[in-house]
Chains A and B, each alone.
Chain A
Amino acid sequence: MTVLASVSLATFLVASLAATQFRSQPLPPSNRVARDEALRRSVTQLEDQNRALKARVQSLQRAVKTGEDESARRSSAAQELKAQVDDQRTIAGLTALHGPGLTLLLHDGVDPNDAGDRSLGWTVHYQDLQDIVDLLWANGAEAVAVNGQRIVPSSSFHYAGVNILVNNGSRISGPYTVTALGDPSALAGGVGDPDQLAELKSRNRIYGLGLSWVKATRTSVPSYDSTFLVKYAQPVS
């Protein structure tokens, strides 16, 4: 029994070492690894900073709102302006909303591992999200959010390498959930129209890229987690 246990232990250790070696071989030299780790640490630190800055902006927004509310209580002129500001904030996406609408789900399909197919058609691209959001606006959406990020007048989707970014450096990754408030039937009708999102739907068939939607009697979108910086455009006096 002792021999059996010793042999078992020895083979276990040898196999572990072999597996470690097998997995470690493709790794680059240590200075490269250290450099990569430093880069990734920078991203983590910048994302932490991004979250902290957004929290500070939100806190200041609350403080400004409190000051405006107090001003409105003291002056009828300020009260009138404050009511207009509140309306504009709602239009701009600075207020959370709820109501009926549509929830659309999108996720990567299956890599065909075909050397002749370099289209990356099985992955979700930022343009796909952009097309979906545009289609929802075109079908009467009153508010839209993607993975909890409210789409506002200054929103843009873009790539940073393999990452999809929206709204002040917010990195979003699949699966993607697009939420829209509006007439559920009109929104679903727009998305279901065979002439719309035709390319995305063909990739759904070819690569199994996930695309589905469901009407909702009640759904919600969060408020924009930042504010607007206008530096160049000035009102025409």
Chain B
Amino acid sequence: MRSQSAEQTARGQRLIIVSLIGIALGFLLVLQLRSQATVAATLAAQDDTSIALLINDLNKANNQLLQQGADLSQQETQLRQALSSGGSDAQAIQKELTTLQLVNGEIPVHGPGLTIHMQGGIMDFELQDVLNSLRQASGEAFSVNSYRVTSSTPIISKGNSLLVGGHSIGGTLVLDVIGDPEQLGPAADLAVTSLQTRVQIVIQRSADLAITEVVTPHPLIYGQLGR
């Protein structure tokens, strides 16, 4: 009788243990399956605003890539036609050379744009933030106090001085940018908002602005062609 009771107790304990293990396993299995699904879709963790902004940016980028593809396709057709007629198309190569020199800041340019006057102490990161925003808004050529600026131009603060390409910028900072006025205007307004509490800012729109300063290219010392 006593041994039967002990056996029942032992069976009960086994049942409880097995049940607990079953519960734990079931819970873990579901958590694991659902976690894998989450990892598989990194976008799923993002809020709708982020996704909407991402869609907007991707649409913009894809439109630019379509335009780039169309330009290159036209360039390639011209080259092929010139070659098939037995000649060469120096004009197409010249056009590409001019575009690249312009992008690299090596030739004077003009076009519609903005001039932003900033009076007050500007830090290096503040100027970089403004330039970054204007580049994002399709800014194509920049100069700061008559020094041509590209993305690789060093901009650093040393004490109270701001150095742009090694040149000290004193007094009023004058930033010229050429690009799509429709995009540059709102981007500039937004970019300088945080500065306006302590810096006096004037933004002038221009239908035809000239940036005549150029960058002197530095030869590669460390970098070599190829991967």
Contacts and interface: CB of A to CB of B under 8 A. Distances in A.
Given A40-B41, A53-B66, A138-B155, A81 B51 contact: no
A138 B98 CA distance: 27
Interface string B184-206: 00000000000000000000000
Given A4-B15, A96-B226, A168-B65, A71 B110 contact: no
A127 B73 CA distance: 36
B168 interface: no
B225 interface: yes
Contacts of A160: 50, 53-54, 56-57
A158 B136 CA distance: 8
Contact of A8 (B22, B75, B150, B179): B22
A36 B226 contact: no
A171 B53 CA distance: 12
Nearest to B101: A88
Given A78-B93, A134-B154, A236-B110, A227 B68 contact: yes
B225 A90 contact: yes
B140 A232 contact: yes
A19 B27 contact: yes
Contacts of B140: 154, 230-233
B109 A161 contact: no
B10 to A, nearest CB: 12
A27 to B, nearest CB: 11
Contacts of A77: 90
A54 B220 contact: no
Interface residues of B, number: 111
A43 B72 contact: no
A23 B34 contact: yes
B134 to A, nearest CB: 8
Nearest to B28: A19
B193 to A, nearest CB: 15
Nearest to A19: B30
A7 B221 CA distance: 75
B104 A155 contact: no
Given A64-B79, A92-B100, A78 B135 contact: no
Contacts of A20: 30
B171 interface: no
Contact of A16 (B30, B104, B125): B30
A80 to B, nearest CB: 9
Interface in A178-209: 181-183
A96 B227 CA distance: 6
22 contacts: A7-B19, A36-B51, A39-B55, A46-B59, A49-B58, A53-B66, A60-B76, A71-B88, A71-B93, A72-B93, A77-B90, A78-B90, A91-B217, A134-B124, A142-B218, A153-B105, A158-B133, A162-B46, A232-B111, A232-B112, A232-B113, A235-B108
Interface of A: 3-4, 7-9, 11-16, 18-20, 23, 36, 39-40, 42-44, 46-47, 49-50, 53-54, 56-57, 60-61, 63-64, 67-68, 70-72, 74-75, 77-78, 81-82, 84-85, 87-92, 95-101, 127, 130-131, 134-135, 137-138, 141-144, 151-163, 165, 168-169, 171, 173, 181-183, 220, 222, 226-236
Given A23-B31, A53-B66, 14 more contacts: A12-B25, A19-B29, A50-B61, A57-B68, A60-B76, A70-B83, A78-B88, A87-B217, A88-B101, A138-B155, A151-B152, A169-B57, A230-B140, A234-B109
